[in-house]
Amino acid sequence: MTGILVVSGVLALVVAGCVCVVWAVRGGPRWVRAVAAVTLTAGELVRVAGRSGGGYRSGGSSDD
């Protein structure tokens, strides 16, 4: 039960961050632009962490 609540909370934060990014592009208030900046930075950090992790990679070719 706790796991479902945690996943639901994370999903709600992701959706709210995406809404703020779209709203900021359309000229939202300052706090929306701040939340959008945090969301984009977090997404970039997740992307970089996914690249540097030596775990599973999809695809068959090893030369990128």
Locate tokens 């930075």: which residue?
A: 41
Q: Say which residue the tokens 């809404």 belong to.
A: 19
Average pLDDT of the chain is 86
User: For residue 60, is pLDDT > 60?
Assistant: no
* Confidence (pLDDT) at 57: 55
Contacts of 16 (CB under 8 A, 6+ apart): 35
pLDDT band at residue 50 under the 50/70/90 scheme: confident
Q: What is the reported pTM? A: 0.69
DSSP 38-55: HHHHHHHHHHHHHHH--S
